[in-house]
């Protein structure tokens, strides 16, 4: 084991709510996932129908039943830093505590299914990964895609991020750029001797104010793009005309555009200005035309919404695996001090996934 401290014991015979509480009470702030990864590994290796692989603090458990289709269920083990919100507590049907929503409720559902559905109608891959809440370079799913992409291959993937126990398909891509204006410094008492770079930003802001968002329909879902200034830097001193100003712009683009197309669009939009790309991540197509995806949507009620934010489903899409977000909890409670998840969400996710996995073909 990777940690000298005693490995916590997870009881997979408990219901998913009690198991969520057990997971929450194993503190696992990003970069400190050793104990929870050890506990999950110990629980998974006790299940004879699963083949288990560990990479760092990321665990992959797979059935090998020779089914025609394979489905991935994935969830991260880490949380944001503790904010006086441990241990977990259950009050009036709501489980409170760090990680309850993002996303140990989803992890608990995965563990319950791993333990209690030994012969699903589709082969299953369970991925419990590290370092989702920190810089991308540390993300366990990204590292797994680089080291062992075959372990992520499937016909369909479900990322159990909180989505109010409903399906959010695919995700939008995200692009951040710095738009620079240039001028010439001068003393503000003789401002006519310089060129004010902050004043030159008005054209950048005017273009953004006039922007009309594209709303493409993909697999019957309407995505809504966004292009927004999110920060402005400029100024030297209280008595100096500035020679540079930077507007940071975030573009949330629909998944029918590639990252290259997104960069090309923003470059054309800000034609005449200096641009520097500072962050770029692809979107993920919903792939609702795949048989496994259609069957899953039908099994959970047939209602699907587009995912407007970015999630790790994009990593599956990059491997050619369509993916959706489906997990217990309201994402608005993620990272809050009063993080929480309704018990009914956890139980609903487990019940619906179990019915889908065990249904006759």
- Residues assigned a catalytic role: 78, 132
Sheet holding 94-96, edge to edge: 89-91, 94-96, 340-342
Instruction: State the pairing for strand pair 123-129/58-62.
Output: antiparallel
Give the whole-angstrom CA distance, residue 91 versus residue 220: 39
**Quick one: tokens of 282?**
């692809």
Q: What is the CA angle 329-332-333, rounded to 5? A: 65
Residue 81, helix vs strand vs coil = coil
Q: Which of 87, 96, 94 is nearest to 25 (CA)?
A: 87
Locus of tokens 């929870």: 36
Contacting residues for 200 by C-beta, under 8 A, at least 6 apart? 181, 182, 183, 245
Cβ proximity of 349 and 160 under 8 Å: yes
Dihedral, CA atoms, 162, 155, 321, 344, nearest 10 degrees?
0
Sheet holding 123-129, edge to edge: 51-55, 58-62, 123-129, 70-76, 156-159, 323-325, 167-169, 304-306
Query: Cβ–Cβ contacts within 10 Å for residue 277, how many?
Result: 14
């Amino acid at each position: 084991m990777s940690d000298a401290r005693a490995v916590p014991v997870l009881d997979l015979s408990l219901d998913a709510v009690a198991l969520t509480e057990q997971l929450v009470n194993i503190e696992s702030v990003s970069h400190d996932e050793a104990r929870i990864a050890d506990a999950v590994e110990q629980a998974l290796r006790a299940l004879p129908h699963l083949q288990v692989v560990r990479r760092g603090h990321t665990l992959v458990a797979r059935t090998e039943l020779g089914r025609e289709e394979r489905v991935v269920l994935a969830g991260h083990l880490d949380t944001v830093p503790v904010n006086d919100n441990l241990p977990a507590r259950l009050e009036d049907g709501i489980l409170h505590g760090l990680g309850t929503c993002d996303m140990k409720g989803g992890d608990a559902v995965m563990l319950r299914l791993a333990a209690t559905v030994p012969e699903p109608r589709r082969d299953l891959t369970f991925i419990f990964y590290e370092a989702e809440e920190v810089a991308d370079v540390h993300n366990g799913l990204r590292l797994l895609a680089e080291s062992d992409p075959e372990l992520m291959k499937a016909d369909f993937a479900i990322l159990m991020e909180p989505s109010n126990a409903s399906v959010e398909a695919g995700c939008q891509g995200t692009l951040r750029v710095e738009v620079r204006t240039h001028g010439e410094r001068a003393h503000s008492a003789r401002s006519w001797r310089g060129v004010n770079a902050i004043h030159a930003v008005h054209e950048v802001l005017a273009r953004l104010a006039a922007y009309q968002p594209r709303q493409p329909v993909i697999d019957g879902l309407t995505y809504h793009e966004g292009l927004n200034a999110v920060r402005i830097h400029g100024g030297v001193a209280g008595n100096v005309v500035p020679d540079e100003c930077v507007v940071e712009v975030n573009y949330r683009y629909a998944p029918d555009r590639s990252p290259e197309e997104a960069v090309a669009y923003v470059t054309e939009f800000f034609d005449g200005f200096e641009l520097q790309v500072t962050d770029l991540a692809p979107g993920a197509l919903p792939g609702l035309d795949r048989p496994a995806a259609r069957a899953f949507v039908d099994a959970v009620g047939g209602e699907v919404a587009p995912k407007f934010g970015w999630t790790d489903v994009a990593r599956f899409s990059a491997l050619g695996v369509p993916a959706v977000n489906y997990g217990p909890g309201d994402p608005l409670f993620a990272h809050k001090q009063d993080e929480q998840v309704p018990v009914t969400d956890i139980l609903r996710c487990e019940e619906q996934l179990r019915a889908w996995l065990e249904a006759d073909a």
